[in-house]
Amino acid sequence: MRASRLFSGVAVVPALAIVLIFFLLPIAVIIVRSFTDPEPGLGQYTAALADPTTLRVLGRTFATAVITVIVCILLGYPFAYLLTLVGPTARTLLMVLVLVLVPFWTSLMARTFAWISLLQRDGPVSAILGFFGAENTTLRGTLAGVVLAIVQILLPYMILTLYTALAAIDRRQLAAAQSLGANRYRAFWQVYLPQSLPGLFAASSLVFILALGFYITPQLIGSPKEAMIAQVIGQRVEKIVDFAGAGALSGILLIATVGLFCVVILAVAPLRRGVSQMISGGDAR
């Protein structure tokens, strides 16, 4: 046992080396450059933060990611819940056929281009909206169109992560709650939902972080009015060839994201403690 543990410890080294060399090292180089070019100091950061464009686009990026997470929860939670109810055959079918894994295996680019055709002026989505009375509505070049395209790409991450968490919840507790007098609604709300919160938090974090980095989708589906921070960073590198300034923007995004997560984790910590106390406390008694 010990030998094989050592073996798997060694086995992980190449993967770590790849992450270190091809991911962490370039990030470190860019961040170091943002503090040293053209002269050592915080100049790039104060310049970036003094630029109203940075703050506006950063704010919009976080807002777009939050909206994406909310829509993903509203669509993904019921779906993941349904997956825990049905039998294994139906579950496999739902996962593979119904919108989870099939789009997961299709290239992001191919799907984004498909959304351009669907959402553009006089496209199918306009026609459908027109049928329901919203005439001349073009979603391409709007926040709604961008969020729709991002949600469609990130929804599988929400559903798959959430399903793992929901599948671990013992559904007999719901029956127990009902036998103790709770109605179905209350049993779900007070027994099931709190236990699913850690999983929901993990899935939301994943979707939120992935959404923050979206580049191609808002670039192709949105107008510059929906531009997210990755596009502004890309613009700085490609058009202005300003690695240090782009590095500072990346640094600000990184710090803002980590900071936000610290706040969120601190905020949900009492909640999670409550959940575990509820469960373990119940056991003790």
Partner 1 sequence: MRKSPLVLVSVAAAAALSLAACSSGAAPDAAEGGGSLVFASYGSAYQDAQNEAFLDPWAAESGVTVQNDGPTSYPKIQQMVESGNTIWDVADTEPYFPVANCGTLVEKIDFSNIDTSNFPEGTWSDCSIPIAQYSTMMIVNTKTFDGADAPSTPADFFDLEKFPGTRMVPGWAGAGALEFALLADGVAPDKLYPLDTKRAYAKLDTIRDSLTFWNTSSESQQSMEDGSADLWLAWSGRGYEAERNGAEIAPVWQDNLLAWASLSIIKGTKNPDAAQSFIEYAAQAEPQARFAELQPYAPADLSARPELDELQQKWNVASPEVQQQSIVTNVQWWADNSAEAEAEWTAWSTS
Task: List residues near partner 1 by CB under 8 A.
Answer: 1, 4-5, 7-8, 11-12, 14-15, 17-18, 22, 51-53, 56-57, 120-122, 141, 219, 223-225, 227, 232, 235, 237-243
Question: What is the C-alpha separation between 132 and 151, in angstroms, rounded?
Answer: 22
Closest contact distance (angstroms) between CB of 14 and partner 1 is 4
Contact between 200 and 81 under an 8 Å Cβ cutoff? The reply is: no
Residue closer to partner 1 by CB (options 91, 111) is: 111
> Nearer Cβ to partner 1, position 19 or 93?
19
CA of 223: how far to CAs of 145, 219, 220, 242, in Å?
A: 10, 7, 8, 23
Distance of alpha carbon 171 from its chain centroid, rounded? 27
Q: Name the strand (E) or helix (H) holding 278.
A: helix 243-284
By C-beta, is 224 or 281 nearer to partner 1? 224
State which residue, 84 or 235, has the beta carbon closest to partner 1: 235
223 token code pair:
């107008």
| Closest distance to partner 1 from the beta carbon of 173 (Å) | 32
* Contact by Cβ (8 Å): 197, 271: yes
Give the SS3 label for residue 234.
helix
* Least separation in angstroms between CB 217 and partner 1: 13
* Comparison of 224 and 259: residue with beta carbon closer to partner 1: 224
CB of 180 to partner 1, least distance (A): 42
The contacts of residue 4 (CB under 8 Å, 6+ apart) are: none
Q: Least distance in Å: CB of 169 to partner 1?
A: 26
Shortest reach from residue 43's CB to partner 1, in Å:
16
Closer Cβ to partner 1, 16 or 66, answer by number? 16
Residue 279, Cβ neighbours under 10 Å: how many?
14
Query: Which are the contacts of 178, defined by CB distance < 8 A and separation ≥ 6?
Result: 184, 187
At its nearest, how many Å lie between partner 1 and the CB of residue 3?
9
DSSP 133: T
Q: How far is the CB of 31 from partner 1 (least distance, A)?
A: 17
Q: Give the integer Cα–Cα distance in Å for 277 and 254.
A: 33
Calpha distance 202→188 (Å, rounded): 20
Give 242's DSSP letter: -
**Which tokens is 138 given?**
């073009």
Q: Are 70 and 76 in contact (CB under 8 A)?
A: no
